Structure 1
Amino acid sequence: MTGEATADGDEERAGVRSDAAPPAPDGPYAAWDRIVVWWDVVFVAILILTAIQIAVEGARGADLLLSYVAIAAIGIAYAVWGGRAARSRNQSAAAAYVVVLVIGTGTATASSGSAPLLLFVAFSHAWMLLERRRWAVVVSAALALAASLGILIRVGFAPEAVIVVPAQMGVVLLFAVGLGIWVAWTMRQGEEHARLVDELRAAQDALARSHHAAGVEAERARIAREIHDTLAQGFTSVVMQAQAASAVLDADDGAEAARDRLGLIEETARDNLAEARALVAAFAPAPLKEQSLAEALGRLVARFGDETGLQAWFVADGVLGLPPSAEVVLLRVAQEGLANVRRHAAASAVEVRLTRVDDTVLLEVSDDGRGLPEGFGFVAGEGFGLSGMRERVTTAGGSLSIGPGETGGTVLAVRLPLHDGESQGERG
């Protein structure tokens, strides 16, 4: 396309795309080169049929020769300029061709009554080759004028003919312009719709990639939390029990105490192995597979007491039939809460309390230890464990708070709402 055609990209076109953007993959211009081949076939067919009709109607001598010369000139001009303009959108070549087309059509109509058949292809080429709509209208008017003058030259300028011929050609012109504008608008709309569909597909693909990336990231974060809340805590316990076993070996009853510690190490390792297998298989936590949350928490607290030597209590009230998703969250929070007591509290006693009031379940992990460090804020100072707990609870629609107890120490509290239809029957 020429520089002039692309410089005024905001001007209305005659229905043919500009170089401002590539054709939409499924749009009307994506297969333009193949479409133009059919234009060529139709053009040649109309020229041949018009030439045959001129001979059949009885044109002879100079009229026949002049008509054939005009048709030949139109054909040659299309081969030199028109066909190239149809494919390259070169407006200089298109202008050269339409000049020959207007003159040739007027000359042929002046020599033969069948030559107006050329208007079928002439009007079409004006709208196909010229990108500016106003120039397509001007050329259409020039074709109508040339054809009218040709007919009047052939039939004479009688008063009746001077009125009738331009009137008839005016109707033809209005039809041609109306049809050309409609086709141009349809082509533009088709291209616009195809481009929008292409952009929508691209946006859907980008959104799908974004969702996939977000899902991968969320799954990574979930696995990290699961490993931290299960395997990492279990390994910490194994290390502490191994250290305790080593410390008591030299005592009088060291062998028996070490054997007890080794039993706890084996039990913890087996539990961790079950957790690892459940994590790999993406199942529910191993402690919840064959027992209720209350039973799993009771076992967790009892083992915690055995491992640490702390006084450990578990209290449950009205917590049968919790939804599995809530049980997973509460179990993981209890595991992390007890791990924090082990590492940071320097406590002598810990209590885990699980209660349910109406549609809310409350889990509290409280100790009588040293309390929170100075400057500990709502979020500031939280490590991976606390931040992971908070994210897990928030995702489930609940809330987590941590603060000093009424008589000292620290209280970790989780409130988890249970929505309608979530409660399940009592587990077996």
Structure 2
Amino acid sequence: MRTGEQPVAGARGAQPVTGGTPGWFLPGAEERPDDSGAERTEFWRRALAGWDVAFYVLLAISAVSIVTVADTFPPDGATWAALGGLTVLLAAYVLVGRRGAQRGDLRLTRAYLVVLVLVVSLCSGVSTIGSILLFVGFSQVWFFAASLREGVVASVVLAVASCVTIAGGAFASGERPTTGDLVVLAAQMSVGLIFSLALGMWITRVAERSEERAELLERLEATQAALAASHHAAGVVAERERMAQEIHDTLAQGFTSVVMLAQTAQAQIEVGRPEQAADRLAQIEQVARDNLAEARALVAAFGPAALADATLAEALVRLGERFRAETGVQVEVVLADVGDASRDTEVVLLRAAQEALANVRKHAGARRVLLRLQREDGAVALEVLDDGQGLAPGTAEGVGLRGMRDRVAAGGGTLDVAGEPGRGTRVRLAMPLGTRTRDGDGTA
């Protein structure tokens, strides 16, 4: 494409009219960004092909009519003049008009409009049958006009010029038309002009509506794409938060246990208690193995490793025993039959118990812990109570507790954390039975 030229509606790589322009190509496209779509390009391509067919058919009919209706053979000068005009019009359409429309070159399309008006009006005056070209002229005016105003002006000029040439031809032939004849001619041409204007405006409106629908479709597609990208980004953030919470509830707590057990073992070695240090080392190995299993479960998008081969009750018992062995804190586990709790509910309850015991280890300084699971009114309730130092007024929630609260809320449950300085802390949560949570099976 040459510099300064715009893509054309209907041609390959073309751009249809935008912004309500009534023309069939895009004038001034260099001043506006290309916002065309494949649907509009295909629409204009089909329209251009249809106009080609209409032009060639009408031109052929006009030529045959001029020859067959001629009164003399061989054709006289008027007939040859009409045929010559058709030839000029054909050449101008192929070399100037259509090429200008394909390139979006206003100079070429306007030049073709001038040729079109001159040829059609002259042919109408030279031969009465030449007036059939008015169908070609009026239709092509609306094809090549770059605006509604330009189409109206060209149509009026064509009608007036045709009236003048037809009347002039009559006077030149010696017919001396009467005033009544001229009035009839003007009336006939006015009817043709009105029909042309109505048809042109209707075609323009159809084109504008088609363009508007295409633009709306593009905007809808862009909105859908943006919405999909937003959902994807939100999903990425949610998954990142979920993984962070899973790591905090499993691996981070395990590593904390390893550090504390290692410190305890080191202290026992320093005071000459190798047997107890060996027990701590065994516990470190077990915690490391558990962490490894949790890591593999996270990578494989499985549920908690503790629930892989055990019920929730068994997992809570193991959790309490391991906590007692690692910290020396007495843990009482009270379990009731909770019925058919969903896998999702079990995951939330187990993670909450792990986080609550981790907080006891890090902050409470407790000597005894009660871990109680029970069923009440269609829900499963878990309580973790300790006799530690309690909560000071205004104590901010940490990452783990916030994650626990989010996890419980996502499953439609409730969480309550209460405590007073020197009187221990109580963590209580209740989860509806069979509720799906954002964790799914612990992997959502």
Alignment deviations for residues 162-218 of structure 1 (CA, whole Å, 9 cap, x no partner): 454444433333332222222222222222222222222222222222222222222
Say if 2:345 and 2:435, in contact at 8 Å, map to a contact too. Answer: no
Number of the residue aligned with 1:425: none
The residue type equivalent to 2:385 in the other structure is S
Alignment deviations for residues 11-70 of structure 1 (CA, whole Å, 9 cap, x no partner): 763455453452522243467578657755754564455334322322643312432443
Task: Choose the corresponding residue for 2:424, options 409, 416, 424.
Answer: 409
Mapped partners of 2:41, 2:264: distance in 1: 80
Matches within 5 A, 1:90-129: 90-129=105-144
Counterpart of 1:28 in 2: which secondary structure? helix
Mapped partners of 1:272, 1:29: distance in 2: 60
Say if 1:356 and 1:362, in contact at 8 Å, map to a contact too. Answer: yes
Mapped partners of 2:433, 2:399: distance in 1: 26
Number of the residue aligned with 2:303: 284
Number of the residue aligned with 1:157: 177
Q: Is residue 272 of structure 1 aligned with residue 306 of structure 2?
A: no
Mapped partners of 1:354, 1:161: distance in 2: 108
Number of the residue aligned with 2:441: none
Number of the residue aligned with 2:68: 56
Counterpart of 2:374 in 1: which secondary structure? strand
Mapped partners of 1:29, 1:171: distance in 2: 34
Tell me by how many angstroms 1:240 deviates. 2.1
When structure 1 is superposed on structure 2, of 44-53 and 308-317 the one drifting more is: 44-53
CA pair 138-273 structure 1, distance change in 2 beyond 3 A: same
Say if 1:123 and 1:176, in contact at 8 Å, map to a contact too. Answer: yes
CA pair 118-385 structure 1, distance change in 2 beyond 3 A: same
Task: Choose the corresponding residue for 1:354, options 373, 380, 405.
Answer: 373
The residue type equivalent to 2:343 in the other structure is P
Unmatched 5+ stretches in structure 2: 6-17, 438-444
Task: Choose the corresponding residue for 2:36, options 9, 24, 31.
Answer: 24
Task: Choose the corresponding residue for 1:218, options 226, 233, 238.
Answer: 238
Number of the residue aligned with 1:337: 356
Alignment deviations for residues 345-404 of structure 1 (CA, whole Å, 9 cap, x no partner): 11111112223321333322221112224531xxxx333222222222222233333231
Unmatched 5+ stretches in structure 1: 3-8, 423-428
Counterpart of 1:320 in 2: which secondary structure? coil
Matches within 5 A, 1:125-140: 125-140=140-155
Say if 2:345 and 2:436, in contact at 8 Å, map to a contact too. Answer: no
Number of the residue aligned with 2:335: 316
The residue type equivalent to 2:296 in the other structure is R
Number of the residue aligned with 1:206: 226
**Identity rate, percent:** 43
Say if 2:22 and 2:205, in contact at 8 Å, map to a contact too. Answer: no
Mapped partners of 1:68, 1:85: distance in 2: 24
Counterpart of 2:352 in 1: which secondary structure? helix
Tell me by how many angstroms 1:343 deviates. 1.0
Alignment deviations for residues 128-161 of structure 1 (CA, whole Å, 9 cap, x no partner): 1112213312322332333344444447524664
Say if 1:366 and 1:405, in contact at 8 Å, map to a contact too. Answer: no
Say if 2:25 and 2:101, in contact at 8 Å, map to a contact too. Answer: no
Q: Is residue 370 of structure 1 aligned with residue 389 of structure 2?
A: yes
Number of the residue aligned with 1:175: 195
Number of the residue aligned with 1:384: 399
CA pair 251-406 structure 1, distance change in 2 beyond 3 A: closer
The residue type equivalent to 2:197 in the other structure is V
Matches within 5 A, 1:243-282: 243-249=263-269, 254-282=273-301
Tell me by how many angstroms 1:408 deviates. 0.6
Q: When the two structures are superposed, what TM-score results if normalisation uses the length of structure 1? A: 0.83
RMSD: 3.3
Mapped partners of 1:320, 1:37: distance in 2: 73
Mapped partners of 1:52, 1:74: distance in 2: 15
The residue type equivalent to 2:40 in the other structure is P
Tell me by how many angstroms 1:309 deviates. 0.8
Q: When the two structures are superposed, what TM-score results if normalisation uses the length of structure 2? A: 0.81
Say if 1:241 and 1:262, in contact at 8 Å, map to a contact too. Answer: yes
Mapped partners of 1:97, 1:250: distance in 2: 104
User: How many positions carry a matched residue from both structures?
Assistant: 412
Mapped partners of 1:277, 1:159: distance in 2: 102
The residue type equivalent to 2:131 in the other structure is P
Mapped partners of 2:412, 2:258: distance in 1: 34
Task: Choose the corresponding residue for 2:248, options 224, 228, 232.
Answer: 228
CA pair 308-23 structure 1, distance change in 2 beyond 3 A: closer
Number of the residue aligned with 1:187: 207
Number of the residue aligned with 1:5: none
Say if 2:342 and 2:434, in contact at 8 Å, map to a contact too. Answer: no
Say if 1:91 and 1:130, in contact at 8 Å, map to a contact too. Answer: no
Number of the residue aligned with 1:6: none
